[in-house]
Amino acid sequence: MNLPFFIAKRYLFSKKKQNIINIISWISMAGIVVGTMAIIIIVSVLNGFTDLIGMFYSDFDPDIKITSVEGKMFDPQTIDIDQIKSLPDVVSYAEIIEEVAMLRYGKRQFPATVKGVPDNYPDYTNIDKLLIEGKYYLEKDGINYAVVGRGIANNLGVGVSFLDPLHIYVPKKGKQVSLNPSRAFNHDYLYPSAVFAVLEDVDAKYMLVSKEFAAKLFESENDISAIELAVSDGADVDDIQDKLEQILGAGFHVKNKEQQHDLVFKTMKSEKWAVYFILVFILLLASGNMIGNLTMLYIDKKEDISILSSMGLPVKNINHIFLFEGWLISLAGGVLGTILGVFVCWLQITFELVKLPGAGGSFVISAYPVHIIFTDIILAFLAVLVIGFIASWYPVKFMSKKQLTPSNIS
């Protein structure tokens, strides 16, 4: 039997001579429980918001996007398209033309990215689900149409039921602005057929048109801006990326959904870890109660220390008693806090108890999103154990030098 551990366990649950020590012990454990719960709950909520934003982007973006490292456009005939299409998990292939243009509707003007997409665009995105007004079509009865983002529509005052066309202006290739600027621009017009809403940065940036319309407007001839691919459900996207990079070489970027918005997701991950370390620091400050608790316990058990020492128990083992006492408080608080934190997250996922402020029918969700990640739980629990070790080790070392001397023990 491990004698120091046995005595520490008895000290944890037995009544002390000074009742204040019992109170401080339970306060120490309560602080660890609350701190552990806070880390798990808050980090899980941040995971939920990350997933929510990823879901929005996922509805609009392809699974994999291929772009040129140099230049805005490239000739798709310079790469092995057949080999790309023949990859087992690639289910959709689309060539895209993207370029910035100036839009004008009435007296209002607004810059936007005009995205020319092929007919199979709705097959590998959820664009139909994103529409808040109108129906998706880019050409009908020989007339060109556009699907505009809500931000663009709001800035231009565009509506799908309006009769006036939407004018588009882009600089001509190889032309310089002269005394008559209109000669330096290509101009065309079309009508809005629908308005979509994803996220603000997408809504205020993109307008979808047919690929043929974009090729004519931007004079791209056979060049394209990107290749968008959809993969089968459950496919290993990382493995497909590796294969595509081998096929394409170093001259092309191959990005998955998250990498297409690298800055957004890196920022959110940085925020998550910043919050994690702030909460761990707060937990470290809260562990100060344990330092006081072990210090007072040393004083309270001075007679026991003297008896154990006279019976031949080494000073090292006496120190282990109080060290184990602190570890037991940390372990019990960490386990209970982890269980309660996961339970609270489960309640929120299942019953949506905490609602988003001002959430109404226009919101996609009405309650705070939560996503529990096992590694986050492990990291939170490890942080508690490390802090518990530090908070136990310091007072034990200090009181050992002060109390466990021959004069004090006798």
Q: Are 165 and 189 in contact (CB under 8 A)?
A: yes
Determine the Cα–Cα distance for residues 42 and 373; give it in Å rounded to an integer.
Answer: 12
Rg for the chain (alpha carbons), in Å? 32
pLDDT of amino acid 168: 97
Tokens read off for 223: 């060049």
Determine the Cα–Cα distance for residues 385 and 78; give it in Å rounded to an integer.
Answer: 57
Please report, for the chain, the start and end positions of each structural domain, with discontinuous segments joined by +.
3-57+265-409, 62-256
The H or E element that residue 209 is part of is: strand 206-210
Determine the Cα–Cα distance for residues 221 and 95; give it in Å rounded to an integer.
Answer: 13
SS3 65: strand
pLDDT of amino acid 180: 62
CB count within 10 Å of CB 260 equals 20
pLDDT of amino acid 4: 81
pLDDT of amino acid 131: 95
DSSP helix, strand, coil percent of the chain (3-state; round to 5): 55, 20, 25
pLDDT of amino acid 161: 85
pLDDT of amino acid 51: 94
Closest CA to 53 of 232, 347, 272, 234: 272
pLDDT of amino acid 151: 96
Tokens read off for 383: 């942080």
Determine the Cα–Cα distance for residues 36 and 276; give it in Å rounded to an integer.
Answer: 11
Which tens digits make up the pLDDT trace of 301-322?
A: 778 777 887 887 888 888 888 8
Cα separations in angstroms, 181 against 45, 172, 178, 380, 407 = 52, 11, 5, 62, 98
**Residue 375: half-sphere exposure toward Cβ, Cα within 13 Å:** 2
Which tens digits make up the pLDDT trace of 256-296?
A: 999 999 999 999 999 999 999 999 999 988 888 887 888 78
pLDDT of amino acid 175: 55
The one-digit pLDDT tens for each residue of the chain (410 residues) are 577 888 778 777 766 555 677 777 888 889 999 999 999 999 999 999 999 999 999 999 999 999 999 999 999 999 999 999 999 999 999 999 999 999 999 999 999 999 999 999 999 999 999 999 999 999 999 999 999 999 999 999 998 988 899 999 999 887 555 556 667 889 999 999 999 999 999 999 999 999 999 999 999 989 999 999 999 999 999 999 999 999 999 999 999 999 999 999 999 999 999 999 999 999 988 888 887 888 788 777 778 777 887 887 888 888 888 888 889 999 999 999 999 999 999 999 999 999 988 665 556 788 999 999 999 999 999 999 999 888 888 887 777 666 555 545 45
Determine the Cα–Cα distance for residues 325 and 66; give it in Å rounded to an integer.
Answer: 58
Which residues make beta-bridge pairs with 93? 229
